[in-house]
Copies of this chain bind each other. A is one copy, B any other.
Amino acid sequence: MSSPWFTSEKTDINPILSSRIRLARNLRKYPFQQKLNAPNAAYMVQEMQEAISIFHKLDMQNLSEAEQKVFLEKHIISPEFIRGLLPRGLLISDDQNLSVMLNEADHIRIQSMQAGDALSDALTAANRLDDLIEERMEYAFHHEYGYLTACPTNTGTGLRASYMIHLPFLERTDQFKSLLPIISKFGITLRGIYGEGTESMGGIYQISNQTTMGKTEEEIIQVLQNMTIKVMEHEAQARDKMLGTHRADQENMVYRAYGVLAYSRKITAKEAMDLLSEVRLGYLYGLLDKPKPVKQIYQIMMEIQPGHLQRIAGREMDELDRDYARAEYLREIFK
């Protein structure tokens, strides 16, 4: 068994933190979610859980709010999945790299995650799981349109491919906003994680395809990769400029971030993410002469989110409590 993608040191050696494939599928014998009633939804979840018996089975209704948040913060489930009204189930592999949301917008949402730049590995794993399901259940499939989905934008391959990418230098530049419409023309979007729209925390963005119809999986991935390379070239230019002419300023920012992480008694998620972003740069570009923490920075970024903090504390906490707990957790890491 491999370790979970988010603890891999591959998340900390490249602007690409992780790679993700999502496949949307529906079962022929059930109505689509808009017309699915609760008993049938529950039956569908149960049937799938029995079919894919190698995975852990979780019913969303039985998870606490904090447990749901933890999965959300790991990008294993979506906010829509939490908000859903029908019975919903989650299948999840031991290493959490593979998972299936049952009754999100579609009956089946396969998700495959890999640390670092490994989209084809993620696709291979997703396809293997997809084949396994297809051996046992019949998908709603149209010979011309491809896989049918609740929302027509997913019809076809049902594929969404994405990278989590760290763009701390690019986001400070003027070019950043002007890049968005360009990649958008190719059906690619860039948006912040844990934030609204393009708002970001810690300079981390998700770049993904928007449309799936009329293209093969390979074409979708190729366009995403091309656009990601383009974005990373701009990030590298912004980085080289900063480290070339303002290296000492960047070093100052990195050390100050380290100092605040090591000493603060109270810190918001947003501030902590931004400081962790600086510290990640510090290690990545040799600006910070401090021993690297055992945990990857990206993992720390996830663990300071509300759900993770509550799980560590073993209790529900209000925002202020979390700000204290977050600071304590970070001090322990950066002391």
Contact B265 A263 (CB under 8 A): no
Size range of the interface on A? 10 to 19
Residues of A236-280 contacting chain B, CB below 8 A: 248-249, 251-252, 255-256, 258-266
Residue A324 at the B interface, CB < 8 A? yes
The CA of A261 and the CA of B260, in the complex, are separated in Å by 10
Copies of this subunit: 2
A256 contacts B251, CB within 8 Å? no
Establish whether residues A255 and B249, one from each chain, have CB atoms under 8 Å apart when the complex forms: no
Contact assessment for B260 and A265 in the assembled complex, using a CB-CB cutoff below 8 Å: no
Q: How far is the CB of A105 from chain B (nearest CB, A)?
A: 42
Interface flag for A327 (CB, 8 Å): yes
With a CB–CB cut-off of 8 A, which chain B residues contact A258? 263
Residue in B252, B264, B324 whose beta carbon sits within 8 Å of that of A259 in the complex? B264
A252 to B261, CA, bound (A): 11
Across-interface contacts of A265 in B (CB, < 8 A): 248, 251-252, 255-256
Task: State the CA gap A255–B258 with chains docked (Å).
Answer: 13
CB closest chain-B residue, reference A324: B248
Provide the residues of chain B in CB contact with A264, threshold 8 Å: 252, 255-256, 259
- Among B260, B261, B263, B266, the residue within 8 A (CB) of A249 is B266
Q: A248-B266, A251-B265 are in contact. List 19 more A-B contacts (CB 8 A).
A: A248-B324, A252-B264, A252-B265, A252-B266, A252-B327, A255-B263, A255-B264, A255-B265, A256-B260, A256-B263, A256-B264, A256-B265, A258-B263, A259-B259, A259-B261, A259-B262, A259-B263, A260-B260, A262-B262
Q: Can you list 26 A-B pairs with a CB-CB distance of less than 8 A?
A: A248-B265, A248-B266, A248-B324, A249-B266, A251-B265, A252-B264, A252-B265, A252-B266, A252-B327, A255-B263, A255-B264, A255-B265, A256-B260, A256-B263, A256-B264, A256-B265, A258-B263, A259-B259, A259-B260, A259-B261, A259-B262, A259-B263, A259-B264, A260-B260, A262-B262, A262-B263
Pick the 9 closest A-B CB pairs, nearest first: A259-B263, A259-B259, A252-B265, A252-B266, A255-B263, A256-B264, A259-B260, A255-B265, A251-B265
